[in-house]
Amino acid sequence: MFVIVNGERTETNATRLPELLAELQHEDAHIAIAVNEEVVPRGSWSQQVLRDGDAIEILTPRQGG
């Protein structure tokens, strides 16, 4: 299936967020995720089912001003 990750069309076999993060080798513990413009609490990541065409934003904090 295809999802949009941070604006880029991405092919994936993942059906849930943790699987997608593993595929993307995204090991950062300090991230936030939104699926279709809805923030998904970290405790719900394993229950979040991914569907073809979902828009996923992976946000990392940046220091600066």
Query: Looking at residues 19-32, what average pLDDT do you find?
Result: 88
Per domain, the residue ranges of the chain are: 2-59
Give the list of residues 6+ apart from residue 39 with CB closer than 8 angstroms, or none: 32, 33
Task: Read off the pTM.
Answer: 0.88
Q: How many H-runs (helices) and E-runs (strands) does the chain carry?
A: 1, 5
Q: Calculate the average pLDDT of the chain.
A: 93
- pLDDT category, 54, cuts 50, 70, 90? very high
2-59: CATH number? 3.10.20.30
Query: Looking at residues 31-57, what average pLDDT do you find?
Result: 96
Mapping DSSP to helix (H, G, I), strand (E, B) and coil, where does residue 20 land? helix
Residue 65 has a pLDDT of: 62
Residue 15: how many other CB atoms lie within 10 Å? 12
- pLDDT category, 37, cuts 50, 70, 90? very high
